[in-house]
Amino acid sequence: MMLEITNIHKSFGNNEILKGVDLQIDKGDVVVILGPSGSGKTTLLRCINFLEKADQGHAIFGDIDVNLKTASKKQIHEIRQKVAFVFQNYNLFNNKTALENVTEGLIIGRKVAKDEAIEIGKKALDKVGLAEKYHAYPSELSGGQQQRVGIARAVALNPDIILFDEPTSALDPELVGEVLTVMKNIANEGTTMLVVTHEMSFAKDVANRVIFMDAGVVVEEGTPKDIFVNPKEERTKKFLKRVLPEDYIFYI
C-alpha cells in the first residue's frame, strides 16, 4: 500500500464536508473520484496535501505515518515532497516562465542542481507537447497549454503520487482533449494518480478504480465496469443517470 487514509473529517463552520472517508491507493493505481459538486471530492484532495487542515484523520504515506490534524511542519513538508498537485485553475506562477514554473520546485524545494533541473524541466515540457514554449509566461499561453505546464510541473518532481483537482473543468470544451491526452499518457507510464474529474470517458478508459462520493462519504467503489455497468447503490445510479447520456451504457 502506497497511500492509506483513514477516517478523515473536515467541516467549514457548521457545514460538515467530509464525514469519515477512507482511501487506499497502491503504486501504479489510477483512481478517479466522481460525485456531484459539494460532495467533498476537492476537499478530500486538498486535505491530503494539507492545503486544508483536516479536523480528524490519519494517513500513511509509504514510511511516513501521520495524524492529519496534528502533523508537524516537518512532516507536512516531507509529505509534500512525495505528493504533487494539479490545480483546477492551473495556478502557474505568474512571474515565472513555463520552464521556470517546472524547475522552481526542483531547484528550491528539492535542491536539485540548476543544470540538471533545467534538463528535467525541458523533458517534462517536451512530454506534454510544449517544447516550443519553454520561455513563455503563463499570460502568453492558452488555458490548455497552461494546464499542460501545470501537469509538467507535477511530473517533473517525480512524485509518488499526483493529485488532480478537476484539471479540465476551467477549460473551454475544445481545449479539454489535449489535457486529457497528456493525462492518459502519463497514466500509461505507470504514474500513480488520484483524479477528481467530471470527464466520464477518462474514468472509463484510464482508471483502474473509480470511487463515487456523495455528501461527504464514499458511497461505492470498484472497477470502472462495476461502477458504470453494475452500480449497486441507488445514489450512484441516480448520479450516473443524470450525468450520462441516455444510451451511454451501450458504449461501455
Partner 1 sequence: MEKYFDVTYIVESLPMLLPFLKVTFLVAGLSVLFGTLLGFILAAMKIGNSKIAKKIAYGYTTILRCTPSIVLLFLTYYGIPAIAGNFGVNINDVDKIVFVVITFSLQFAAAMSEVIRTSYESIDKGQFEAAVSVGLSPSQAYRRIIFPQAFVVALPNFGNSLLELMKEGALAYTIGLIDIMGKAELIIGANYNTHALEIYLALAVIYWILSIAIEQLFLKLEKVFSKGKQVIKTT
Cell 505568474 sits on residue: 94
**Among candidate residues 230, 235, 195, 229, the one with its CA nearest the CA of residue 214:** 235
Piece in contact with partner 1 (CB under 8 A), picked from 61-69, 78-86, 219-227, 236-244: 78-86
Strands 193-196 vs 209-214: parallel, antiparallel or unpaired = unpaired
14 binds partner 1 (CB under 8 A): no
- Strands of 15-25's sheet in order across: 15-25, 3-12, 56-61, 64-67
Sites for partner 1 among residues 120-159 (CB under 8 A): 137-140, 143, 146, 153-154, 157
Distance between CA atoms of 221 and 232, rounded to whole angstroms? 10
Calpha distance 71→143 (Å, rounded)? 35
Residue of 2, 81, 129, 185 that binds partner 1 (CB under 8 A): 81
Q: Among residues 87 and 228, whose Cβ is nearest to partner 1?
A: 87
CB of 217 to partner 1, least distance (A): 25
91 binds partner 1 (CB under 8 A): yes
Cell triple for 184: 492518459
Among 2, 7, 24, 51, binds partner 1 (CB under 8 A): 51
Residue type present at position 74: K
The residue ranges that bind partner 1 (CB under 8 A) are 49-51, 77, 80-81, 83-85, 87, 89, 91-97, 104-105, 108-110, 137-140, 143, 146, 153-154, 157, 170
